[in-house]
Homo-oligomer: A and B are copies of this chain.
């Protein structure tokens, strides 16, 4: 069946393709206030499954969930100098409440380091209270001048973890653990995402951090997207809020802290890393619906069969949905499921029944073939496993083929202009080279060691800068 081009082809205009897809797959709409978004049920279903999986991984580290207020006194922000400088331009300010002008304006949290430290300073008294490991699932507001659904929105949903530790080493190791084994494992194993795990340069660090770890993914057009960050805050916020503990040796010491966040941006990343000209391709482990069973026509035998297949797949552990809306054209429904990226479609019509088969359509690997109905329950789970791996393999292959090792700023600009990433020795680049790249809208996404590990410092010999245009 030839496909109607429901989306702008990626090769014609990738950003337009993205926008078309977000709307047509019913993931999100633009909100009425500039830069805000309405996350529709299908998009929110993806977020719910991300939350559920990540929440379990976060709790497995001993971290507990809590909830801090949305509204922060403006004065809190100013206590950590770099922090306020970084966030001031993005703040939403509440000046009136309960019908009156407020004595002190309050801001909507752009992130919660300041308000959380106010409480950590009260809750932490002794070394027995450490480590203090807290996470919250919340909304934050950062006023956005160039909004793009899921990627940059004035309000977004996220989790933000905040921890306090007795020593520098423990804080450093905790941030690294979260980054590699909560974010990294989740994104690779569930989202089938390929990424580089590295360290941000001083210029790109979180406002108030002494080190920021990042995961950077390559999108379908070769641009980079930051997928999640984890920060070592050192003692910066502890100093600003006097967050101290009584050590075993009886001394008052400042705590060492971390913070780490991942956001609804992951939904945008999922679209742009795995999507194709026909829509999304959702990794089976994430997919709220892994297989949809479609009745092509509404006769009784077909309807009975799709329900039986649905039940058999469900019994085989597949998250399945039966589409029996035969009052809608079959073609429109098929295109709809394709747009939404449901990994497997099982299509059943009267002719299939005669032959005892159903059409198995694979969204991820592509292709369709008739399969004996009795074989579906064994086959579909195997197909889902295979396609989960395939998405990761394809993403890895893209990055490998579109990353160039170069030696100079000029070469890096050339490589990235063509829609790819460049790897440049940091020694050949440095902060001056970083500034020259910026003139071409190219940024250092992160620094990695020669062997791909995460370096301890920006200036560790052999560091390689991964540079790209980015979202």
Given A71-B33, A115-B32: A97 and B92 interface contact (C-beta under 8 Å):
yes
Given A88-B99, A97-B93, A118-B32: A69 touches B108 (CB 8 Å cut-off): no
Selecting from A139-147, A314-322, A428-436, the interface stretch reads A139-147
Contact: B66 with A38, CB < 8 Å? Answer: yes
Stretch at the interface among A11-19, A40-48, A294-302: A40-48
Q: Does A80 contact B (CB under 8 A)?
A: no
Give the nearest-CB partner of A327 in chain B: B128
Give, as a whole number of angstroms, the nearest-CB distance from A309 to chain B: 22
Q: Indicate whether A36 reaches chain B with its CB closer than 8 angstroms.
A: yes
Contact indicator per residue, chain A 18-37, by CB within 8 Å of chain B (1) or not (0): 00000000000101110011
Q: How far is the CB of A56 from chain B (nearest CB, A)?
A: 12
Please report whether the interface of chain A is mostly helix, strand, loop or mixed according to DSSP. mixed
Interface string of A355-371 (1 = CB under 8 A from B): 00000000000000000
- Say which residue of B36, B67, B88, B95 sits within 8 Å of A157 (CB atoms): B67
Q: A65-B48, A89-B99, A99-B88 are in contact. Are A71 and B39 (CB under 8 A)?
A: no
Number of identical monomers bound together in the oligomeric complex? 2
Q: How far is the CA of A145 from the CA of B99 in the complex (A)?
A: 11
Give the bracket for the number of chain A residues in contact with chain B: 35 or more
Whether B69 and A37, one on each chain, are in contact in the complex, defined by CB atoms closer than 8 angstroms, is yes
Given contacts A72-B32, A73-B33, A143-B98, A67 and B92 within 8 Å (CB-CB): no
Any chain B CB within 8 A of the CB of A76? yes
For residue A204, CB closer than 8 A to chain B, the reply is no
Q: Is A134 an interface residue (CB 8 A)?
A: yes
A401, B94: Cα distance in complex, Å = 48
Min CB distance A279 to B, Å, is 19
* A471, CB-defined interface residue at 8 Å: no
Q: Mark A132-170, 1 if CB is under 8 A from B, else 0.
A: 001000110101110000000011010000000000000
**Complex formed: what's the CA distance from A328 to B129 in Å?**
12
Can you identify 10 A-B contacts, CB atoms within 8 angstroms? A31-B115, A32-B76, A32-B115, A44-B65, A67-B157, A70-B108, A91-B96, A97-B143, A98-B144, A99-B143
Additional 5 contacts, C-beta under 8 A, given A69-B155, A89-B99: A32-B72, A33-B73, A38-B67, A38-B68, A93-B95
